[in-house]
Amino acid sequence: MYFTCWSQKSTGIHADSLKVYERRFVPTGKLSLPTAFSDLCRAELRQSRNQLCAGPPVRKFLLHVLFWLSYWFIYAYAYSRYDGNIGKYLLTEGLQMPARILATYASFWLLERWGRHTWWALPGVAMATIAGGMLNRLLKFWYLVPEFFPESTIQFWNLGRLMVDVFDCVLAAGVALSARLYFRQQESLRLEEQLRREKSEAELFALKSQLQPHFLFNTINNLYALARMKSDKAAPVALQLANLLRFVLYETRKPTIPLKQEIKILTDYIALEQLRFDPDRLRVETIIELDDPQQPITPLLLLPLVENAFKHGVGELRSDAWVRLRVCLSDKTLQVEVENSLLIAPQPSTKGIGLANVRRQLELIYPGCSSLQTQWDEQKEQYGVYLVIQFGHTDQT
């Protein structure tokens, strides 16, 4: 249990992503994630969400200080345009800042505390801003106007001027709240993108984990059949299988591999399948045209297409079976055509998980720039799978 949780934590895959894996790819009643493991990952997800939304305390404090300093200087500069004495207004506006800040954070607290009950929070916010305006009004009445504006007169209960002071606090709280909502929205978008990325990574991991045993079981079954017949082909098949195992165990962990390496696996697999058939029973045609053999591609993306042709196509024919593979990469556009002989139309229940797996990987890795189509030609008695990926579009996006 400890090793499982540690491995999952090190890959950065959270509980929500694993729920997707468990729901989509684990057969019901056969296997489920341990309860303790799920609870631990959910706790880590909640902790990371809280940290992401709250942000580092020092950074958060500095942002608040920067906001209020900017607000102070903007106010002082705006009023100094009357007589050009910015020093005086820096002092007078600075003395009024505590009431504005107090009204603002009191409003924040009320909205956080009663945010789900808006009609309870709004009266409290109104009272907080009115109290802030009254404090500044008292400050002006007892000190600021007599000290800095002796030529002016002030009446404390002048309703119009009192409303200006209250609106002053409302404006400060409104600007601060708008800034706070903006930053929270940005953090929420980053968190959403992070969760979406982790979900995609978990699903891709599940797809590859599903595909590897699917492919290996088929190959081992072929080896078992040759061994039972005591065929001389069993040893070459075992060697080919060892090479494919090495690729599946080590290379598929990488996000991408060169296209030429994926093509090498295809040709090795075809050679492995040819050992199972008599030369007069199976005919294979392979056409490879690559203008950039180093083009990155997801591992094991093309193999299910070829495997599908052998398993559900020529494997069911006793004679005159054929497979045609064409892989063409030109100007960042990959075209893969896999055609095989097939006498009757394929049934949905016999298509296996390979093609569905490839479709889902294309949706996750190459969305909007890939297509996978299948076609059965009754007159020619052939079945074809056609894949197109535009790598140039994915590089730009």
> Tens digits of per-residue pLDDT, 250-268?
777 788 899 999 998 888 8
Distance (Å, whole) CA 245 – CA 115:
57
Distance (Å, whole) CA 110 – CA 338:
65
Side chain identity at residue 198, one-letter code: E
CATH number corresponding to 231-396:
3.30.565.10
pLDDT tens column, 343-360: 777 766 545 567 888 888
Residue tagged 């607000």 (tokens): 71
Distance (Å, whole) CA 184 – CA 124:
23
- Say what the pLDDT of residue 332 is: 92
- Say what the pLDDT of residue 351 is: 53
Average pLDDT (119-140) is: 84
- Say what the pLDDT of residue 2 is: 33
Average pLDDT (283-306) is: 91
| CA 170-176-179 angle, 5° bins | 140
User: Over 50: is that where the pLDDT of 294 sits?
Assistant: yes
Displacement of CA 206 from its chain's centroid (Å):
15
- Domain spans of the chain, in order of start: 2-54, 57-191, 231-396
- Say what the pLDDT of residue 289 is: 95
Give backbone dihedrals phi and psi of 97, rounded to 5 degrees, phi first. -65, -40
User: Over 90: is that where the pLDDT of 276 sits?
Assistant: no
Summary mean pLDDT of the chain: 76
Average pLDDT (52-67) is: 75
Distance (Å, whole) CA 264 – CA 239:
15
Distance (Å, whole) CA 227 – CA 234:
6
pLDDT tens column, 153-192: 777 788 788 888 888 888 888 888 888 888 888 888 887 8
Given a contact cutoff of 8 angstroms between Cβ atoms, the answer to whether 354 and 317 are in contact is no
Q: Which of 71-85, 161-175, 214-228, 361-375 has the lowest mean pLDDT?
A: 214-228
How far, CA to CA in Å, does 176 sit from each of 76, 77, 100, 170, 388?
17, 19, 10, 10, 51
- Concatenating the DSSP letter of every residue in 242-262 gives HHHHHHHHHGGGSS-EEHHHH
User: Over 60: is that where the pLDDT of 107 sits?
Assistant: yes
User: Over 50: is that where the pLDDT of 37 sits?
Assistant: no
How far, CA to CA in Å, does 24 sit from each of 7, 18, 147, 360, 383?
21, 10, 74, 12, 28
Q: Which of 3-12, 35-44, 72-81, 292-301 has the lowest mean pLDDT?
A: 3-12
Model confidence at 390, pLDDT cuts 50, 70, 90, reads very high
